[in-house]
Amino acid sequence: MTRPSTPAVTLRAQPTTVPLVRPFVTAVRRATVLETVLVQATDDDGRIGWGEAPISAVTKATTAGVMRAVHGPLQDLVAHSDTADHAEALRLLSLSSESGAARMAVDCALHDLAAQRAGMPLYRYLGGRSARISTDMTLSVGNPATLSRATNQHVTGGFDCIKVKLDANGDPLARMRAVREAAGPQVRLRVDANQAFTAEDAVRIITTLEDADLGIEVIEQPVRSDSLEDLAYVTRRVGIPIMADESVWTVDDLHKLIDLQAADLVNIKLAKSGGIFVATQLARLASSAGLGMLVGCMIESTVGISAAASFAASLSGNGEPSTAAGTAPQDLDGGLWVGSSPVAGGARYEANVIELPDAPGLGISAAPVGQETAVR
């Protein structure tokens, strides 16, 4: 029996820069613009699938490197794959040595094409039922007064889950007290240290936060990413659940984390995993090991957020993940930091809810009129 083939796919990458609405500050970086590469995958029938490769020190990708990868080895890989749902190309992408961000862009564009070909929104194509995904809101590193003001602004704006970036400077307890006081007792609080602490300091700080009874539901990546032993050291000694982020990029990373019982949850991001194909493997492995999970993102445009939210919707019927604290909002507020969208269509935010379109694929049509100035 002859296997059906998909129309040939041509990839086109476009560097894009969009100003942020405010600086994004963590323990490891400060950003004022979104630097990204948008990828269009066009098939012989004229369909266009969209993907995104966010550029930063975190993703370990450069614009030049992504452009070279997309127009070179990844284009060659896609050109030599011929299954109707792009399954062969997606599998080969997962084995590529190119950066996770570059692979994410092509993987998501191929998933977009496959869903369009099936005449289904991507979230339904992946098995999801709900087009509404709730998210937390991230607060940059700041002093207590700044954090209090930001918390009040976002809670008033409809957010019921706040994630606070902490670094190794200042007083973490004072900062989190200010956030809790501004948020009130019903708002969920998360902490993301972005590798800021040593293992011993992390235990000391987290224990102080526990003693203060601030109701923090998770501490994300308190120690450096290259030491799962340090992460396990912290996890064994504190009561607040610990979530791995930068420590888990691949399925092998997650296997090692599980073997060491190094964390209670994992933050799955498409730019780390290289797209939806591997992210799905990570989610299945985490679930089988009894780990909670959240779907996260970098600072990304509508393109990347639409793909990540579609993947998140596939994890359960209502798009809410299972975490150590029960069902909880995803970690997909990255698009709210971007001043404008470089495309038309796709996901949109309504306060703390991401609304996915009912159109086939990601529902992205083209760059909006006047947006060309944001594309270099």
First and final C-alpha spacing in the chain: 47
219 is in an annotated binding site: no
CATH fold of 9-119: Enolase-like; domain 1 (3.30.390)
- What span, in angstroms and rounded, lies between the C-alpha atoms of 167 and 193? 6
pLDDT of residue 365: 86
- What span, in angstroms and rounded, lies between the C-alpha atoms of 63 and 304? 16
Quick check: do 9-119 and 125-355 share a fold?
no
What's the predicted TM-score (pTM) here? 0.93
pLDDT of residue 17: 96
CA-based nearest residue to 71, from 147, 142, 15, 112: 15
220 is in an annotated binding site: yes
45 is in an annotated binding site: no
Which residues form the catalytic set?
Answer: 165, 269
CATH of domain 125-355: 3.20.20.120
167 is in an annotated binding site: no
CB atoms within 10 A of CB 352: 20
Q: What is the residue-averaged pLDDT of the chain?
A: 92
pLDDT of residue 323: 45
Q: Per the structure block, which two tokens stand in for 277?
A: 């194909």
- What span, in angstroms and rounded, lies between the C-alpha atoms of 74 and 11? 8
Instruction: Name every residue whose Cβ is closer than 8 Å to that of residue 181 and which is 6 or more positions away in sequence.
Output: 148
pLDDT surpasses 60 at 368 = no
Q: Per the structure block, which two tokens stand in for 341?
A: 């969208």
CA-based nearest residue to 157, from 303, 333, 319, 26: 333
What tens digit of pLDDT does each residue of 114-172 get? 999 999 999 999 999 999 999 999 999 999 999 999 999 999 999 999 999 999 999 99
C-alpha count within 13 angstroms, C-beta hemisphere, residue 168: 14
The domains of the chain are located at 9-119, 125-355
